[in-house]
Amino acid sequence: MKASYLIRKAQPKDVPAIAAINSQNLLENLTHLSAEQLARRGFLVSRLDERKILSIVQDGKNGLVRVACNGAQVVGYAFAYNGLLLMRDEPQLLDTLQINPEYRAMFGEFCAGAIKLVCLDQIAVDEQMGRGAGRPLFERVLKDALKQGYQVLEDLVLLQPVRNDRSHRFHDEVGMVSVGTQTIGKNGQAYVWDLKVQFLCPDLRAAEGS
Ligand SMILES: CC(C)(COP(=O)(O)OP(=O)(O)OC[C@H]1O[C@@H](n2cnc3c(N)ncnc32)[C@H](O)[C@@H]1OP(=O)(O)O)[C@@H](O)C(=O)NCCC(=O)NCCS
C-alpha cells in the first residue's frame, strides 16, 4: 500500500540515518541473498562517503541531498552532485564509457561547463521501499536540479555481475533512458553499468540517439 512521504532538503542531523539506509542496502551486507533475490530487492554497490554528503548538505553548493520522511523518520535519500567535479577529479572515467555518439559529443560541453550535468550518485529507501517514497524523491531531485541550472541528470545502474532489476524498472518508470554503458574492473571482475540519463531541457533530447 502506498504511503504519504514528506520530501525535504537533508540537514546535518540526517546524515546518520542516511548512512544507516545506505548500509542496509549495500551489496556487501546482502551476501546471504541469491542473484535473483538481489535483483528483485534492489541494492547499492558503494558505501556512502559521509564527509562528502555532509559537506554538500552544509554548503548547498555542487550538489543536492534530499530525504523522504514518514513523520519524523527519514526513510530514504537521494544524493546528486555536479558532474563537472567528477570530470575534474576522475577524468580517466571517460575512457570507461561505451556511449552513443550523440551523447559522447556532449562531453566536451560538460567539461567546459557549457552544459550543466548532475550525477545522481545514490537513491535508496529503507524497508518501506515500494510504497511510494522513491518516485517523489527522484522528482524532487529533478525539480531542484533544474532550479539550480542543471540540464542533464545522469545515473548508473548495475547490469553485471548482478543486474539490479528493481532499479532498472524504477529508472524506466521515472523516464530515464539508456545512452550506453560503463565498464570498470574491480577485484578481477568486470562491473558493467547502464548509463541512464534524463534531459531536463527539451532541446538536448536528440542525444538520446539510437
Ligand atoms: C529503487 C528505489 C529507490 C525505488 O524506491 P521505491 O520507494 O521502492 O519506489 P516507489 O515505491 O516510489 O515506486 C516507484 C516506481 O517504481 C516501480 N517499482 C517500485 N517497486 C517495484 C517493484 N518491486 N517491482 C517493479 N517495479 C517497482 C513502480 O513502477 C513505481 O511506479 P508507480 O509510482 O507508478 O507505482 C528503492 O526500491 C530502493 O531503495 N532499492 C534498493 C536500492 C537501489 O536499488 N537503489 C538504486 C541503485 S541504482
Is cis: bond before 16, omega within 30 of 0?
A: no
138, 198 in Cβ contact below 8 A?
no
Ligand 1 nearest-atom number relative to CA 2? 11
pLDDT band at 90 (very low <50, low <70, confident <90, very high): confident
pLDDT of 125-182, one tens digit each?
A: 999 999 999 999 999 999 999 999 999 999 999 999 999 999 999 999 999 999 999 9
Q: Which pLDDT tens digit goes with each residue over 99-118?
A: 999 898 888 888 888 999 99
Calculate how far, in angstroms, residue 167's C-alpha sits from the geometric centre of ligand 1.
Answer: 6
Location of C-alpha cell 559522447? 104
pTM over 0.85: yes
Q: What's the angle, vertex CA 44, arms to CA 29 and CA 131, rounded to 5?
A: 100
Fill in the amino acid letter for 32.
Answer: H
Q: Is 30 touching ligand 1 by the criterion CB < 6 Å?
A: no
Q: Is 78 in the pocket of ligand 1 (CB under 6 A)?
A: no
CATH 3.40.630.30 fits domain 6-202 = yes
CA of 94 to the centre of ligand 1 (A): 29
Q: Which atom of ligand 1 is nearest to the CA of 125?
A: 39
CA distances from residue 16 to 49, 51, 63, 86, 182 in whole angstroms, order as listed: 12, 11, 19, 25, 30
Count of positions (residues) in the chain: 210
Cβ(79) – ligand 1 distance below 6 Å: no
Q: What is the pLDDT of residue 206?
A: 66
Atom of ligand 1 nearest to the CA of 156: 48
